[in-house]
Chain A
């Protein structure tokens, strides 16, 4: 479904991603594991195309020069230079890190804004599905999103991405800032949405422990480079991973 070959991204002269190659097959849950500043967010922004928009805006302002090398292929089509709004139409939808929601709008209105490309009935249908996926949101429909807790905002953010009806859902650090219990709830929801709707998921995380048991495959990224890859089970048994992420 998604093929990335030899991806390099420079911010001015700083190398954020260095020769990264990875692939995602239809129906999989794939994890990208890495610590802070490993390049996870840059990778997500590059796949979703946000970086194309950032590059244009920086160029207009005469700000940082962003350079992208390598190839991204999606469903057999080269999308390396496709603008983000077109990628959303093709089914690649990103939920950004730090649970981004529209704080001034109510929960229902957040879904409506996210459903820009969808009809009213489609939005309603997905909203009903999201409320079964995340029952706590049901009681908060009219609450302003800015007043939700971090966990609730994360549920909302994932729900908003689902309203767009993605084929490939990119989740950038969905567990950031959540309690272990909330982390489990979010991971369970990701697994069940993958099973029930057959949406392919690529998620990046620094918390390997809750993520590795549920992913089909995972890649480990350090300093913008791939260091390890394998199935979730393989990586959990890997001594380096144990030392770095499980603190054993």
Chain B
């Protein structure tokens, strides 16, 4: 049971990291806490579902369109809404949360809720690992999380746009003196965050079903992981995903499933009491931001 729980805790870690990494990317670079992140996730999920089931578009094409649509949606929201309120934390949160609410409640209005609203798994197979059944989808999530984090690391350390991301994250005005257009880079960061939300939906949604409530759920989990890890820190997201991921699974197995939420929240409280800026956080304004 211990081995099995550990395997599922690892998978849970990967799911949490996948949910949080896009939110974290946007916040770390442009300082925008994108509260529409959960709505982006649900938007992409319904988008793919609609293209597959209503328009009968081939799977890969549908995925490609959905990711592109999210990238564009993120860029548009930055260009027409966030640009004007950037730097004013409260306005950013209200604006993005408002957009998120509008998108999610629109789907609620359509009444697209139920078990038929889900995305297909990649491969309908299970494997036995160390005596535990694990389905292919969960393994895919584990692999994809690792690959995505590695790709992001490479991107931010070895490409000029990625390095520009790190530049404006540290000092926007100085970055400007090197010809790095901060508004353009910040727009890309919101856009990339939205794109990653689409990919996260593609991998995670097949485990359950699509519902507007998922959007709030993803946002809360992303926030929890980012707050524990220290907003804007990728290392922090990984560490916090492990803490929450393992805490949730082990509580579920050894104490009882109704305790999972309490243990995760206790973990958040504990970390914030000991280190208010999060495990790896350097943002002194963290408390004011959220």
Interface residues of A (CB under 8 A from B): 48, 50, 53, 57, 60-61, 84-85, 88-89, 93-96, 100-105, 109, 112-117, 160-161, 163-164
In-complex Cβ contact of A102 among B171, B181, B282 (8 A): B171
Chain B nearest Cβ from A237, distance in angstroms: 35
Residue contact A48 to B166, C-beta cutoff 8 Å: no
The 19 sampled A-B contact pairs (Cβ below 8 Å) are A50-B177, A84-B177, A85-B181, A95-B177, A102-B170, A102-B174, A104-B282, A105-B166, A109-B166, A112-B163, A113-B164, A113-B175, A114-B167, A114-B178, A115-B160, A115-B178, A117-B179, A160-B178, A164-B179
Residue contact A60 to B164, C-beta cutoff 8 Å: no
Residue contact B179 to A116, C-beta cutoff 8 Å: yes
Chain B nearest Cβ from A26, distance in angstroms: 21
In-complex Cβ contact of B177 among A61, A93, A104, A115 (8 A): A93
The chain A residue sitting closest to B182, CB to CB, is A53
Residue contact B84 to A161, C-beta cutoff 8 Å: no
B173 within 8 A of A: yes
Q: Mark B91-115, 1 if CB is under 8 A from A, else 0.
A: 0000000000000000000000000
Using Cβ atoms and an 8 Å threshold, which residues of chain A touch B79?
none
Using Cβ atoms and an 8 Å threshold, which residues of chain A touch B171?
100, 102
What's the Cα separation between A117 and B161 when bound, in Å?
A: 10
B207 within 8 A of A: no
B180 within 8 A of A: yes
In-complex Cβ contact of A60 among B86, B166, B175 (8 A): B86
Residue contact B170 to A105, C-beta cutoff 8 Å: yes
Interface residues of B in 245-290 (CB under 8 A from A): 282
Dominant secondary structure of chain A at its interface with chain B: helix
What's the Cα separation between A85 and B180 when bound, in Å?
A: 7
Residue contact B173 to A96, C-beta cutoff 8 Å: yes
Using Cβ atoms and an 8 Å threshold, which residues of chain A touch B173?
50, 53, 96, 100
In-complex Cβ contact of A88 among B86, B157, B164, B179 (8 A): B179
Chain B nearest Cβ from A207, distance in angstroms: 22
Residue contact A60 to B84, C-beta cutoff 8 Å: yes
Residue contact A116 to B163, C-beta cutoff 8 Å: yes
Using Cβ atoms and an 8 Å threshold, which residues of chain B touch A104?
166, 170, 282
Chain A nearest Cβ from B165, distance in angstroms: 9
Chain B nearest Cβ from A107, distance in angstroms: 14
Chain B nearest Cβ from A58, distance in angstroms: 11
Residue contact B177 to A48, C-beta cutoff 8 Å: yes
Q: For A88, A109, A116, which residue has the most chain B Cβ atoms within 10 angstroms? A: A116
Using Cβ atoms and an 8 Å threshold, which residues of chain B touch A164?
178-179
B176 within 8 A of A: yes
What's the Cα separation between A60 and B173 when bound, in Å?
A: 16
Knowing A96-B174, A104-B170, A105-B166, the reply to whether A116 touches B84 (Cβ < 8 A) is no
What's the Cα separation between A163 and B179 when bound, in Å?
A: 12
Chain B nearest Cβ from A59, distance in angstroms: 10
